[in-house]
Structure 1
Amino acid sequence: MTNQDRPSEGGDRMGPPKPDRDLQALSAWVDDELHGDERDAVAACIAGDAASEATVAAYRAQDNALRALFADQSGPQIIRLKPRPRERWLIAACFLVVGIACGFLMHMLLPALGDSKPRFAERADIAYAVFAPEQRHAVEVAASQQDHLVTWLSKRLNRAVTIPSLTEYGFQLVGGRLLPDEEGPAAQFMYQNAAGERLTLYMTTATIRGNDTKIRTLRDGSRTTFYWAWDRVGYALSGQIGEAKLQAIAYDTCKELGGDPKSW
Structure 2
Amino acid sequence: MAARRGFTLVRVAGIPIRFQYSWFLVTAVIVVIFGPQVSRIFPEIGLGAYAVALGYALLLMVSVLAHELAHALSAKVFGWPSTEIELNLWGGHTQFIAHDATPGKSLAVSLAGPASNLVIAGVGWYLIQTLEPSGVTGLLADVTVLVNFLVGLFNLLPGNPLDGGRLVESVVWQITGDQDRGMLAAGWAGRLVVGLVVGFVMWQVLVAGPNTNMVLVVVATMICFFLWQGAGESIRIARARLQRQR
Same fold (TM > 0.5)? no
TM-score when normalising by structure 1: 0.20
Larger relative strand fraction: 1
Q: Which has the higher contact order (CA 8 A, sep 6+)?
A: 2
Larger-Rg structure: 1
TM-score when normalising by structure 2: 0.22
